[in-house]
Amino acid sequence: MSNQNRVRPGVPSGGEFAAHVFAEPTGVTLVDPASRPVVLAPGESEDFNNLADGDVIETIDVYRSHVDDGSGYIVTAGKTVNVRGLFDEKDLAADGGIDAFLDRHGAQIEDYLRSRYDADLDSEDWEEVRIDCSTLLPDAPLTEGGIVDAAWVGTKVTALHNESDPGTFGYEYLGRLLREQIAGSASVQNRLAVRAEAMRMLPQDIEGHCRDRHLKREISDAGALAIAGRLKDPSRPALSQFAVRGYADRDEMNTELHLAWLQNNMGNRSATTSIALDMMRSWIRNGGDNN
């Protein structure tokens, strides 16, 4: 019995879904998205949010510096963090609750976040703090892959993400780190109002404030800021920071006050200065009397 073809040669079987044989394409190359070039003019910026994962990194922005600057590109990875949620209401009952705690220590929290994560902050709402972590890239050919690597590896946004979650294995918890920093510092209760009052205090006002309260009651927060302002000097970074930001490390402030006390005693000793230094150390230990 002879074999017979059921379909004419050259006619595909199976309709439009039948297997077809196509020739190999010539002259076509698929571009790896990671190597896709990015072109920005000097001074130009552009967002690359399509390269963000939406969880660890919510936004990615790239800025190219001015041609005469030579610093290259700034890659910024942005994330929103609920800073209020880092703290437990029960743990802060003695501080008046979370809101009072954030009001008093807001400047210190912001400074710590900026320093730890090389970040800029927008903190109008403590439940949605916008944190932008940045890194620099040289002024060389840039690709989308280079932007992604810079965002994930070059910035500290990944550390911020992991440390914001208490359940992330092997990482410090940001809430605990902030509590430890604040516990080791001395701070005023209302920085802006107190600083304005302190700036109005003349040397004779400070002396009178200390004289009236010596051995009777603590100096006020404004008095402490005013004394620190008078002592502000590059050799006293903690007292200088306290005078401006309203907080500083407690041990560092005490060390600088002790050195100032020694310097006062070794020179033409001023009893007024000694009293002010002693009352300042007492304020650090006990807090201020603002009544």
The number of distinct structural domains making up the chain is: 2
For residue 32, the 8-state DSSP code is P
One domain for residues 168 and 229: no
One domain for residues 226 and 271: yes
Q: What are phi and psi of 184, to 5 degrees?
A: -90, 5
Question: Residue for token digits 């205090």?
Answer: 201
Say how far residue 222 (Cα) sits from the centre of its chain. Answer: 27
Tell me whether residue 74 is in a domain: yes
Inter-CA distances, 129 with 42, 157, 267, Å:
30, 13, 49
Q: How far apart are CA 62 and CA 48, in angstroms?
A: 7
One domain for residues 57 and 173: yes
One domain for residues 42 and 179: yes
One domain for residues 99 and 237: no
Tell me whether residue 265 is in a domain: yes
One domain for residues 125 and 74: yes
Range of the domain at 165: 36-183
One domain for residues 100 and 140: yes
CA dihedral 252→258→263→267, nearest 10 degrees, is 160
Give the HSE-up count for residue 101: Cα atoms under 13 Å, Cβ half-sphere.
23
Tell me whether residue 14 is in a domain: no
One domain for residues 173 and 49: yes
One domain for residues 46 and 179: yes
One domain for residues 204 and 153: no
pLDDT tens for the chain, residues 1 to 291: 444 444 444 444 444 444 444 344 445 545 566 789 999 988 999 999 999 999 999 999 999 988 766 679 999 999 999 999 999 999 999 889 999 999 999 999 999 999 999 999 987 899 999 999 999 999 889 999 999 999 999 999 999 999 999 888 889 999 999 999 999 999 999 999 999 999 999 999 999 999 999 999 999 999 999 999 999 999 999 999 999 999 999 999 999 999 999 999 997 899 999 999 999 999 999 999 999
Tell me whether residue 29 is in a domain: no
Question: Residue for token digits 């072109």?
Answer: 39
Domain stop point among 154, 183, 212: 183
One domain for residues 199 and 146: no
One domain for residues 95 and 179: yes
Q: How far apart are CA 164 and CA 188, in angstroms?
A: 27
Q: How far apart are CA 283 and CA 85, in angstroms?
A: 31
Count of Cβ atoms closer than 10 Å to residue 148 Cβ: 20
